[in-house]
Amino acid sequence: MRFSVNKLAPELVGAAEPTPSGRLPLSSVDRTAVVRLIIDLILVFEQGVQPAKAIRSALSRALVHYYPVAGRIVEPIPGEAEVDCTGDGVWFVEASVDCSLEDLMGCVEHSLPNAHCKWSEKSAQHSSLLWLPCVVLLVQVTEFRCGGFAVGIRFNHTVFDGLGAAQFLKAVAELARGHACPLVKPVWCREAIPSPPKLSRRHAPSPAGIHFETSVFDISSDQINALKNQFCRETGQKCSTFDVVTAMLWQCRTRAISLGPHADMHLGFAANARHLLRGLLPQEGFYGNCVYPMGIKANARIIAGSSPVEVIELIRAAKTRMPAMFLDWMMGYADDDPYEVPLEYGTLVVSDWCRVGFSEVDYGWGEPIHVVPLNDDHNFIPSCIYLQPSKPKQGVRLMTRCVQKEHLPAFTEEMKQFVQN
């Protein structure tokens, strides 16, 4: 359908009160190449009353507590990025669209076109500034004719990991609901993370000119529980929803792309490492990067031909090794750099957003009915993001961008066979 979007000029929103100045160090994990990315997402809400006004005000008050977010990323020494607490503020755009959310439901899971936080060249004379990698956060609130609204977020992964970004967004929402301060006190504390002797200095990956097709699949709780029960019967152990979904996805994709029985298939996923740094980091409040990229390599014949239970066991074994591998990396004992992901078609990187917290953001009118990642700029490696499905559905929604066009039919068929079993 055709519709038009009206955008006001972008403005810088600063902290509501004076905040400290000076430079703050980023951690060794913040400075790794794998997190030098910009992450885009949309939170879609069914209803709100003047949401742009409420969110703008709450954002300003949140920046009093999260004042580094209003600063700029600088790199006085190559590879040694810092945050300069300039207080310049975050970019904010108010927009409206002449259609309802219902009109867009057919495409909301893919991109919600023209109603997200991507900044058009027509938005303002400041548009060239909005793309600078030094900016930490950009927010756009788009109001729909029906009373619903969407909050587009573009955040710099160098300053936040997924849990940290969700913590900040929930803090803004808490202030919008009337709280005097965030329920979780933010902590910078980047210097508490040890700096490994062998730290990756590679630049962030660049697009390789390969186009991966976007698809969405909903996996029901019944299907997930059936595999969990099978795993328990055959091994006497329990496994997680992540284990089941990842094993199924890895197997379906391996069969679909058919690289050959002897090809190496790589699986990567980020594991939260906060619990491994107890005593160094506070129990809550830290919003920087604290993840360790786990990698698994297996022969294509094994992944394609094994039972789901056997693939789940591979994933569980890797997760069991993670604490020791993280410690080895921190101490400089690791032979390979875990942050150097093979940029090959045989690689699959998955990100679990189901429990990060994006679905818990409530500005006062209820939690989002959709969380939509936008990874248009990250089309350099096969990937999949795990999301909560639209309510009242239960299970996991997979937003995949992991196969080229010629392999999409086979991949879709493999996924359908799993869904229907």
Read off the pLDDT of residues 206-228 as tens digits, 9 standing for 90 and up.
Answer: 445 578 999 999 999 999 999 99
143: its two tokens: 């109001």
162: its two tokens: 């997924």
- How far apart CA 419 and CA 417 sit, in angstroms, is 6
Angle between helices 308-331 and 221-235 (to 10 degrees): 80
pLDDT score recorded for residue 107: 54
What is the CATH number assigned to the segment(s) 5-192? 3.30.559.10
pLDDT score recorded for residue 196: 79
261: its two tokens: 């029985």
Catalytic, out of 157, 266, 370, 407: 157
Is 362 a known active-site residue? yes
Task: Evaluate if residue 203 carries a pLDDT over 60.
Answer: no
Three-state DSSP class for residue 45: strand
Give residues with Cβ within 8 angstroms of 256, minimum separation 6.
403, 407, 410, 411, 413, 414
* Cα 284 to Cα 4, 62, 84, 169, 322, distances in angstroms: 43, 17, 24, 15, 21
pLDDT score recorded for residue 418: 78
Which helix (H) or strand (E) is 97 found in, with range?
A: strand 90-97
Give residues with Cβ within 8 angstroms of 205, minimum separation 6.
33, 34, 341, 343, 380, 381
pLDDT score recorded for residue 103: 79
- The mean pLDDT of 67-91, rounded to a whole number, is 93
Given pLDDT bands bounded at 50, 70 and 90, which one contains residue 375?
Answer: low
pLDDT score recorded for residue 343: 81
- The mean pLDDT of 296-314, rounded to a whole number, is 95
Q: Where in the chain is the domain with CATH 3.30.559.10?
A: 5-192, 213-420
**Mean pLDDT lowest among 6-10, 335-339, 365-369, 403-407:** 335-339
Q: Give pTM, 2 decimals.
A: 0.90
Q: Class of 213-420 per CATH?
A: alpha beta
- How far apart CA 62 and CA 175 sit, in angstroms, is 7
Is 157 a known active-site residue? yes
- How far apart CA 262 and CA 397 sit, in angstroms, is 31
Read off the pLDDT of residues 315-334 as tens digits, 9 standing for 90 and up.
Answer: 999 999 999 998 888 887 77
pLDDT score recorded for residue 135: 92
Q: Chain-centre distance of CA 47, in angstroms? A: 24
**Mean pLDDT lowest among 233-237, 284-288, 331-335, 376-380:** 376-380
Read off the pLDDT of residues 101-148 as tens digits, 9 standing for 90 and up.
Answer: 887 765 554 444 333 434 333 333 334 444 567 999 999 999 999 999
Which helix (H) or strand (E) is 52 found in, with range?
A: helix 51-65
Among residues 292, 286, 278, 283, the alpha carbon closest in space to that of 330 is found at 292
- How far apart CA 212 and CA 344 sit, in angstroms, is 12
Catalytic, out of 103, 218, 328, 362: 362
* Cα 201 to Cα 5, 27, 30, 196, 282, distances in angstroms: 41, 13, 12, 12, 28
